[in-house]
Structure formats: C-alpha cells, structure tokens
Structure 1
Amino acid sequence: MLLSRIRIPMSRHRYPDDVLSCRILGPVVVGIDGTVVDLGGPTGRRMLAALSFGDGAPVNDGRLAELVWGDDQPQHMAKALSVVISRLRLALGPIGRRYLERTTAGYALVIPPDWTDRGQFVAAVATGLRQLAEDDAAAAVQTFESALTLWRGDPWCDLGDSVALAGARAKLVELREVAVEELQAARLACGDIAGAVASLSEAVTEAPYRERRWELLALGLYRSGRQSQALAELRRVRELLINELGIEPGPVLRSLEQQMLAHEPRLLAVGSPKPPPARPESATPAVTKPLSTLIGRSRELQRLAESVAESRMVTLLGPAGVGKTRLAVEHAANSDREVWFVRLADVRTAEAVIAATAEAVGVVHIDDAAVSQLRRVLENRTGLMIFDNCEHVVDAAAQLVLPLLNGCPGLRILTTSRRVLGVDGEHIMPLDPLPIVDEHGGDGAAVELFLDRVRSNRARCDLAPVELDAIREICGLLDGLPLAIELAASRARAFGPRDIRTHLRDRLDVLGATPLGSISPHASLTAAISWSVDRLAAADRAFLLRLWPFEGGFTWQAAMAVQPPEHRDRAVLAVLAALVDCSVIGADVTTRPTRYRMLETVRRYCHDIDKDPAATEAAHAAWVRRLIAGFVAEGPFLRVGSAFPALSAELANIRVGIEYDIEHDPVAAMWTASSVEWVEMGLDALPGGKHLLETALTACPSSAVVARARGLIALSSICFERGYSAEAVRFADMAIVELGDDPAGDEAGRVLLVALLRRVGGALVLRDARLARATVDWFKAESADRPIDPWMRASAMLCEGSTLLLERKQADGEAMLSAAREHAAKCGFTWVQGTADVVLARNLLRADPDPALARTALLAIERAWTVFAKRGNAFDLLGVIYAGAHALATLELREPAIALRAWVIDQAIRIGDDPQRYAHLAGHAGEELMRSLQQEQHGSPAERMGRASTAAELHQMFSEAVRSVR
C-alpha cells in the first residue's frame, strides 16, 4: 500500500525526492517517498508518534518514556530508549534515519510541519478561515473538505490516553470541530442550503453544546423558508443549555433570534455568516483594564504570558499589595483567549467558590452536582479562568481546580494568592515588590510609580531635589509595594512628600484610602495586611508577632530563640514554612543558612497589634546577647572563616539589641558592644557602632574596670579601621589608664596587652616611630611573664616587623613580617596574615620606582587580596586593592590601575569612608603617582569599566596583570 501525501490546492510547496511523511491523525503511518514504512511493531509506532508530538523540537527522555510506556516504564529507561531508537532508525533506512536526531535536550524528529498531516491540517484550517473572511466561500469549501479528509481517527491514537497529550490533542480536536462548522458556513455562503442543513442537523446531534452549529442550522432553515422551524431550533437549544448545563445561550444566538422575530432582510442574503470573534462585540468583556497606567511590570507580564502558555495551572504568589490582581487583569485584558474572571475576595465557603465560578462562566441554574456541571460547560471550550484572591479559600479552590483541569483539556487556570494551592502541576510565579533602584543605580520602578501618581493628583508637579529624596525614602519604607505607593502618592496633594515621610516612619494610617474604581479588594494597606495576618492559625500568628523586632532578616535558629514561651513545643521550621506560604514573611534560599525577612510594612503592622511589645523586644535583645556570647566563648578571631559572614548578616539586629539594652540594661549593652570587637575586628562596619559604644560607656560610668577598658579598646579598633589613627591611640591610652599601672588578674592583664597592640597600630599609621617602639617594648615587658594567645603573638610580630620597617631596618622588618604571616596562617588569624603582606608591599612601593620591587609587591598583594576577599571586611579589601592599583601604576600598567583605583573610590564613598586615606598610606611618592593616574582616569573607559566591575572581576583582572609581568 502506498502512502499518498494529500496536497492542499493552495499550497505551492515542492517536496524533495527523499521526503519523510508522518500521519498522526489516526493510527501512525510513516512513508518514505510515498512508500509505507514498517516501523517494527507497536513500540516503534508509539515512539514515532511520541517524537512527532515535539513538532520538530527535541522531546526529553522522561517525556518520551511517559508517552511510549506510560506507567509501565522500563527499569533502565535510557538504555530502553536507545534500543527502540536504533530499531526505528534501521526501519527508516538511510533516507529516513537522518531526520531522527539526538540532541542534548532529547531525541527529535526534524521534518517540516507540512510533511505531517497535522501540520497540513492546521495550515489548511487557517487558510480556509482566511478565505471565508475574504468572502471566497467556494475556495473555503474545497480547503475545509481537503483538511477534513486528513482525519482518520483520534490524533496520536497509538499513545492512548496520555495526560501529556491531553492539551495538544484537545487543541486539534477543537480545530477539527471548527473546520466542520465553518465548512457548513462556507456552503451556506455558496447557496448550498440543503446540503448545509442536512450536515448541520447531524452535527448538532454529535456536539449539542456547540452553539455555532445551532446558529448555522437555524440560519440555514430560515434561508430555506422554514422560519418557524428555525425559531423552534433556537428554543430547543435554549432549553437544552438551561436544563443540561444551567446556562443561557450566548449573545450570538440571542441576537439571531431577535433578528428572525424582526424579519431582518439581511438574514436572507446569501453570504458568509462570519464566525464569532474571540470576544463577541455584543458581550461585556470579562476583564477591563484599570484606567491608571501599569508601571514597572513589563518583564513580569511577559513572564506571566510565557508561564500561562507553558503550564495549564499558574499561581501568581506574593504578599499583600504587591500587585498580583493588577498583573492578572493586565494579562487577561491582553489575552486573545476567552476569559472567565472569578473574584473570591468576598467568598468564604466552598459552595460560594463554586457559585462565584458558575456566575463567571454564565451558569444560571446550579444543580446538585455543581462541579460536574461546570466541567460539562467547559469541557469543549478553550479559555483562561482566573481565580483572584484565593489565599483564604485555598482548599476549596484546589478542590474545584483539579476536576476542571482534568476534565477540560482546553482550559487554563491562573490564580492570584498569598498561599500556594498545592495542586499537582501548579507553576508558581512569585511576584516581588517594585525595585527602588534600577540595575544602573538610577530610580527604580517604585519611584517612577510614585511620581506618575503624584502628577495625576497635582496639576503642577515641579518637585525639588529634597522632595525627590523624600519620595525615594517613602518607597523604601513601603518596601516597593505598588498598593502602598499609590496610597501614599494620593496623600501628596494634602501633605507633600517630606511630611508623608515624617509621618510614615511612625504609622501607616497616613496612607490614603483605596480610590474608587481600584481593583484592590481592600480599603487600605492596613486592611490588606490584616487580611493575611488575621487569617493565620492562632499559634502561627503569635509566633509572627515575636519576629517584628528583627531588622535585615533572621535565621530559623534566631526565630526559635524568640518564639513565645507557650509555643516552645512547636516545630520552628514548620511554622516558618507556613508563614512563607502565607506570604507574610519571605525566604532567601540562596544563602546558607536560609534567611527569612518580614516586609517593613508588615513589621510595623505587627508592632502595632502586638499586645506586649516590650516582652517581644526583650526576647530579641536577649537573643543578641546570646549570639555574641556564643562567638566569644569559642575564642577571639579563631572562627574568621565563618564568624564574619554570620555576624555581618546580623549587624542590623546587633544594633537593635544594643540600643534596647542601652535603655534597659546599660551594662549588658556595653558588654555586647565591646565583645563585638573581641569576636571579629572587622565589625566596625556596624552602622553607628562608635556612637553605640560611646553611649553605652556614658550610660554605665561605674561599671567594672575591665568592662570599661574593653569598651574603650573596641572604640580604638573602630577608629583604627576608619582611618582615625590619632583617635585610635587616644582611646587605647584611655583603656590603659582605666586599667591602672599594675592591672590585677589575668583578664585585666590580657586586656592591657590588647590595648597596647591597638596603640601600636595607631602609631604605625601615624608613622610615629618613637611611640611605636616604646609601645612594642612595653608589650614585650608586660607579656614576658604571661601566657598569651597565638593570635596575640601573631599581632605582636606584625607590630614588631612594621616598627622595624618604620625604623628603616628593612631586612629585619621583612623577616619579622614573613614570620608573622606564617604564624598567623597556622593559628587562623587571617587578618594578620593578610596585613603582613599589605605592609610589606607598601614598604616596597614607598621606595623609588623599581620594577623588581614592584613585582615582589604585586605577589604580596595578590596573597593578601585572596585572604581579605574571604574575610569580607570592606575596609581591608579596599586598602589592598588600592595598593594593587599603586603597584600596577608603578609598572606602567595604567589601565588596570585606573580601573582598580576607580572601584576603590566608588566603594569607599558608598560605605562612608574617606578614599584619600588609602592614598596617604602609599607615601609621598605614591600619592604623586596616584595623583597623575587620577588625571588620566576621569571619564576614561578604564574608569567606567572599574566602576561597573565586581570585586571578583577586578581580582581576575589583577591576577592576569600579575601573570603578565612575572
């Protein structure tokens, strides 16, 4: 038997001689040049059918196995696939096998669409519809008839009832039904009334719920002079739809009945009865766009469109006020699908969810089996159903969504919710707040939205720079939530941005009410947040209210430490997962451990409704003290690799805890603040750390001597890191005075040694050789009869080596620095390890420009850079990178030097540091060299590249430069 390729009359395509044709509209038949190929049994036919499902694209191995074997998949899937494919290639022969390819994404049958009956059918139906729209009815009749002759049975019938095929198969079946209907419409247009009526009488029996067939049948009867029978058919379909489905006929049938009763002359005119548009003009759209402009969501709209195209069930997930409903409405308004919009904000029960869905679909009489009734209404329809605001009825929504998805292959569902529905196959699309700052450092979409709404409320809107600054802060205080920003902007006419900012820091009720016509279901932002919080389980809600003091996020261990005493037996991770699912907190799973964060607006709401905020704050402050105590107990500086990242993440929380203790327990505040320095020197990055320490010292003037000395040493360390060397020496001296001439006890003696080390550090930066030497000798004398920690010995060796260099004893100084570096590496004190190399490099670069010395300095800087990059201390890293720029400039590698210097200056300004102090450390000759570099730098490509680079990219650039001069 020969396989004939059905050629559509309007096609001018010339097939090559070695064509491989594939027919899947019925049992699979494959041919090579018109000759049927034996595919070697049912498995081979199923494999070919599964490959054709990809429509030329690769089908991954898992999907292939599912399509070919269903639930009875082989144990060694990859091997089984390979065997079947090999046999299939053998069957296809040398001509056909080249169309069967293996890619990284899976196997693919790479043939043009018009080599398959599926592709020919789809193209033919599209052509026929176009011909019908152009009133070329005779050509449309031929085209539709040719298309329908391609059908020999169900598409991909060899693959059975595979769930994976349901959507694609339903699409083809729907297209065939359209072809059947529009063929009769074309016949009516050609005047073949009798033939069309005969076919339509049979067609309405086969598919009684397809209204287009009844429309065409009634029109054919009317044109053949049987007007009373035409009206009778319209009444019959109305009774059928109401009795069977509980819905009224659509607007097209209702309009046709009215025209027949009015004896409209145009009904008798022979012409093409146009198919109804996707949205009938006489029907009210299911979704109307809001009048305001959507800002900052173009990417999200595109992602949503892609998600709905790829997945039949999509959930837009996000916190209150983030704009989920608005995005869904915009997508629906732009969609060419039929849309049913189900509003659930005001429903409370499962029955109400079903009733709201029935109302959206148009069902007017709900029977006892309501879900089955909805499924019958929608099973032959293609469209998008949107369930809006599902978070309070997720179980009821899920119980309705599942049967609809399973029974209605042409249906896609989009939900908006603060909780996931938990339905199999649900695609979650999280929706984040609008950014305050864009990727280029300019104003983000949040600020743009505020400005747009302000301009719509104020006839004249010339904002001063101070007002723009206030708007940026407002957007930050409101977390970039679109609803909150719009409500704040609505108050701009009454208060102005600066007053809004002032009031907003303390309370949320300064925000306006939701405007008339808004799609938001909530009257205010507070109501929107309350909608989420008040629906939590009582224990989860109590747990949430203990989390509002955390700033900058928290770990599960921190949450466990502050949980309510009456709920100590609850599994913390389960509670946090529930709160994340309800979108009242967020989870950053990219960090280790996972950090959880509460939006600022939710934090303030929880603070306002907390019945005992003092106890909540006290629990948080107690956790801060335990956090610092835990690190102190393990020994200072010995956990550099893990301590700094962990503590850096908690800086904001540490500050809040210390501020609470300053007011309620000043001694504890001073202990925590001063202990920070003992855990990790780099914690001078603590915002306002110096002020907190000074405040704590002032608040407890009569506390223990050692405690006050430690606080003063911490101040000295902070000043040293910030570049205030004279201040560092002064605070170290104050600590020494506090301890007295002969400090009693091991702890006091140990604190004295630390104070002396801080004093040396300040003296060295001030280049005061006499003070440095005197303090080093003092340290040696005090430590002679005391056991000292390895980290302290490494620090002392660093101070000794640096002092020797300052005294121009080069060889001795370099030898001591090398010894300090090695000792520090062994004991894990990486700050000394890196600093020893930086001091050595700066000393080499202070000499007259010498390429050999500069190369040695480069190697030292590269070692130090690696160390400080792991530590994460910004000030140390800036210092070593600036030294790297100095070394590169000495070797005339000016472009990478410019890039490094530009990055340092930019980062120093961002963290509130003075970039000039790094130039001062380079010495006079270094300052002159870097000043000449600055003249070249301004506006150069190297400068722009440096500012746009990351620290890791700069490190790679620097390493390549080092290799080039070795």
Structure 2
Amino acid sequence: MQVHVLGPFEVLRDGRFATPSAPKLRQVLALLVTHANSIVRTDQIIEELWEDHPPKSVTTTLQTYVYQLRKLLRLSGSGAPAVHRNEPLAEAVLLTSPSGYLLGLPPDAMDSHRFEQLAERGRAEFEAGSLAEAADTLGAALKLWRGPALIDVSPGPVLQAEVVRLDEIRKNALERRIDSALSLGRHRELLGELTTAVTREPTHEGFQARLMLALYRSGRRSDALQVYQRARKVLADELGLDPSSELQKLHAAVLSADPALEAPRIRETVRASPQIEPPAELPSDMPAIVGREASLTTALQALTSPERKAPPVVVGVGAPGTGKSAFCVHAAHLVRSDYPDGQLYAQLLDPRGEPVDLSEVLAHFLRALGVAPTSLPRSLEERSQMFRGRTAGRRVLVVLDDLVSAEQLLRLKPSGSGCAVLAASRRRLSHPMITTTLEMTPLNVGDSLQLLGSTLGAHRIAGEIDAVHELVELCEGMPLALHASASRLRLRPHWSITRLVEWVRREQRRGPELAVKALELSASIEQTYRLASPAVRTAFRLVSILHEQPVSPQAAAAVLRCTEFSAESLLEELVEFRLCDAEPAAEEPGGFRYRFPTHLRAAAGLLELAPEHDEVFVPSVSGPPAQRAASPRWAPRSAASEA
C-alpha cells in the first residue's frame, strides 16, 4: 500500500485508489498515516475529530471508523510482533492497543517519509559543500509535492501541526536548493521560480532576498531594487514591520554595487575539504533567569574552571515546569566564549516523548564538526569513538536537553579536557562522570512576583497585587506556568490579571486537570510520566490522588495492595523522576512521607485518559511474607475489543 500525503491524500491499493470519502474517516486515516508505526492515543484522535465536544458515543464511533478502514483498505489486525520488534513490515496492518491504534506501514510506503529522507540527505550534502549533489537531491525531494500537504483533508489541531511541520521542511529544502543553484551560477534559471515563490508568500523575506540576488546577478539591478520596495510595503501593510536587517543590508549592497554580490566561480564552490565554521547551535536565550542566581554561579564556576583535568558535566534536574531547559540554555550562552570550537545542542526526546536515536545525534554532531556524510561510520560505537576523537584537544560545549540516562551521557560526552557538557534532565542521575548536579526547585513567592513583573511590567503588577498573589499561588512557583500565564495576558491585553485568575479557577472547578492544561503544564508532566516504568506510572496515578497531605508508605501500600517495602520503592522512584517530593516523617525517625504538589495530583486525572502501554497491579497472595515483599507482580491490562 502506498500513501500520498504530500498533495492530494490518496491511498493506492492493488493498483486502485481506495481513499475514504467520509471527511472524518479521512481524518482518522490521515492521523494514523502521519504517525505510522507509532501508537496514536485515543485522546489524540478525539481531539483531532471533535476537539472539546466529542459525542456521547465516542468510543463506539471510533471503533466503527477503525472497522471501516480495515474493511475498505483490507488491513490486517495482526502483525504486532514485527511492529514491536521494529522489523520492516511486508504488508500494512492496523492494530489496536489498550490506549489507541497503530497503523504499521512498510518502509517507503509514504511519499512524506521519502521526502524527509531526501531533504535530510540534501541538507547534509549542502553543508558538506557538495552543491551540485545537494541541488539534485533536494530537487528530487521537492518533486514529490503535488500541492499543499493533506490538501483534501480538513485538518483538526493535531493534523494541522503535522501540516505546518511538513511545510516548514519543504521551505527549508527549497531555500537550500535555491542557495545551491545560486552558488553554482544558475541565477537566471531561478528567476521564474523565485518570482512565483514571492507571489505566493510575499512576507517571506528569505525568498525576497534570493530574488533580489538572482536579479542583480542577471544584470537587472533596478528590478532588484523594485523587489525590495515592494517587500518593504507588504511587510508594513500586512505585519506593521520594517524589513529585517539582513534584507536592508542586501538592499544597501545592491545600491552600492558591492562586488561581494557577484556570482562565485564554479570552481570556488567545489572544495575537497571545505572550511567549516565552528558550530553555534544554541537555542535563543532568555532575557533573564529569575531565582536561579546561586545555581547559575555554581554552573559557571564548574564550566569555566581553568584547573579541570576532564570535561565537567553539569546536570540541572527538576520537576516538570521548573525551567531546567531554559536555565541550561541561559548558562550556555553566558559561557559560549569559553568554547571557541563550537557549541553543539541536541534534544534527546522526540515530540512523542520517546528517546531519540543516539546514532543520529552523533551523526549530526560529527557533520557539524566537519565530517563529510560519506565518511560517517555506520555503528553507534564507531560514531561515538569518532566523536571522542574529533573533540580531543578542542574546546566544545555540548548542551543536552531532556537527558534521561547515563548511557546517553556516555555516548555524547566529548573527550577533551577543554570541553564540557551542560544537560537538563527529567530525573536524577548518578554517575561518576557527573561533576555537578543542580536542583531546580519551584520559585518562592518573591521570585515568582519578580518573574511576572519582568514580563508584564511592574505597573501592571502593582495595580492588581492581590490577584497577582493568587496567580502565583495557582502556579505553585513553576516558571513554565508563570511564563504561560504572562504570555496569555500579553496575547489578551484586554484581560486583567483578576480575569485570568478567575478563568483558571473556573477551569479548576470544572476539573483539576483542566487547570493544569490552562497553565500549560500537562505536556511536560506527561513527558516525564512516560519515561517511568509501567509500575511507577500506575503508582503515580493511584497514590497521587489520595489526599493533599504527604503520603506514608503504609498508606500507599494499602492503595496498591502490595507490601510496604514495595510501595516505598515505587515512591522513591517517583522522587527520582521528580514526580513527588520526599519529606522527613516527624513521628518516625529515619522515615519519610511523600508529597504530591497540587498540579501533579491534578495531572493524574489527565494521564488516566491515556495510559499508553500501562499495566495493572495484581497483588501477590501466595508464598511467605518475606518472599511477597521482594517485588510486586504486574500483569498486562486486558486486551481491548477488536477495534
């Protein structure tokens, strides 16, 4: 089965098109296809089809849609072993899981997948200086597009995000192909294509700049200047903006007939070993980080100490929403001048919360350090060794977001003593190579007020001081929630802070989990939750909703129907994942109580809706007490109905 995602949404089966005609059935199929070989949770499908207004019979309706897809496309409902072993499928399958559905597709069944592969190969060729090869590869990738992605599907919020993602990759591929052609002296060939691109997207300054350059190199200087004037007018009329500094500089260069604008000679673009600029991959910095002064001082001292004999490894650990990623990026910007050979950055969890392929991360790092794509070793071990060799004797800073294991750190750690690693982690890690661990705790009231004041303005804070204190209490010191609240107020300047507080309180009354979503904490909490084992996830959901007071291991054991020892082990793992806090038990020397902050307890209601791959606790009832205390037993949930 071949699926065309780029352009009209069509499914070719046995030489004929078998695309569903019902709009919502097409949506379901499109959602499964764009997430092929991964489970699409039921709540995602509901959000895509009905957003906040699902029908009462939503479960039956979804089962009907899946049945219709299986019948129309003649899809098997078996094949789980191959899917779960990540083996290539010979035939498409549509599987049911306790939490959703999975459409398994053979390799290269989707044109969007082939496009992304070609676009990535073209990017690597372009960065390696192989411009002719890059132009050909990227041209082949762009030919797969026959119109906007999913043009004949009415996308909901989940599919719309995929449409935007694919279109951004398309634009990047188009820009690189045009840049390759410009560097090869093919400016006249590009005029028609660039004129069309500018007409379709008049506020895209990258296309405007490239059209100006192509016109100038074609001897049409006056036309290039007219393009700038039209661009300036469109940007002012539609966005209220002036042209970017890059576009203004290009305009000045055209006016002065700057020799640097002349087309390069072909032989200058073909180099056996192109000079690689040191990579500078850090995300944009925050203007300021509030309430982290002591941690920042400790991090900077560790990262700039001249007496170190091995690369320092600084790890910021915190609960979901504590701002550990922003802290690490900010600290990295402050010390970037100490690492003149480059700053590398990697996100170690994908958008679905799954750990990324370390082999691909290392390939990206090595390309950034000047290794040609054709010289990359195949295995993870060989790439890791090459990375250590490339960083020996250099001063490179590696920034890792969402670090989840010591294995990731071992593979991605540079070897030179002048290098360093700065990582944000969702769980506590213990390893001899970690030199400094920084706890990102919730902000106190004063720091929370300072954060809101720095983003909203002191005048706005002073006018509603009681409401501001209420908002700080609702956010529980979480920088993510505070920034989300400030952002909502900036987007809605007609709202008072009191109005925002009332809105969050109203959501809280409708359901505590809705307040967590309103403060934009749910996604971060779910990502951390998905990293834990099924047993720990179940313990979080069942124990966190007990009551507001700290929970004892005895109380948790009663809920989980297991021994106190097993319950305490699960609670301690939750502490490692920063999903609860441990406090000394006043009445029991050496013992602990476990506290779940309000937003984490509320999130348990959301997570109950999508317990992906979860398992249910089954109490052990046989054997002597010592044997039963060793570990709890877990059994899979009963299988769902056929759909």
TM-score when scaled to structure 1? 0.32
Q: Which has the higher contact order (CA 8 A, sep 6+)?
A: 2
Q: Which structure has greater strand proportion?
A: 2
Q: Say which structure is richer in helix.
A: 1
* Rg (Cα) greater in structure: 1
TM-score, structure 2 length as denominator? 0.46
